[in-house]
Structure 1
Amino acid sequence: MTKRTNNRRQTPINIESRQKRRAVQSAMSAGLRTRFKPLAQGSKMDDFMALLERADRKASKA
């Protein structure tokens, strides 16, 4: 049988550091969304979908 480890933190995280971490994560998420939003909405996605459809048609013929 494998030995279980205790995954609990040894020291509690204070509220201030938790809020800072959440603020950083939120800012990073917003930045990534802003950066990649044009890719998701642009014609690149349409081109990719067309490529997948062509590949599916070729695979069904084989």
Structure 2
Amino acid sequence: MRPNFPTEFKRQLVEQSFEPGASVALIARSNDISTDMTFRVNRDRFSSLSFHGRENFLRAA
């Protein structure tokens, strides 16, 4: 069964990926999820947006 994480949790994962020195492995480990799930959340968030910079992305998320 595929987990269905709340939107706020996914937003937090994306925000963590913008932190200096962030790595997928550390983000996954600190949130008790797989690295594949971390990649999937980021991919899903970015695929639905056009590029307008980080600030606009985080406001839209």
Q: Same fold (TM over 0.5)?
A: no
What is the TM-score normalised by the length of structure 1? Answer: 0.29
Higher helix content, 1 or 2: 1
Relative contact order (C-alpha < 8 Å, sep 6+): which is higher? 2
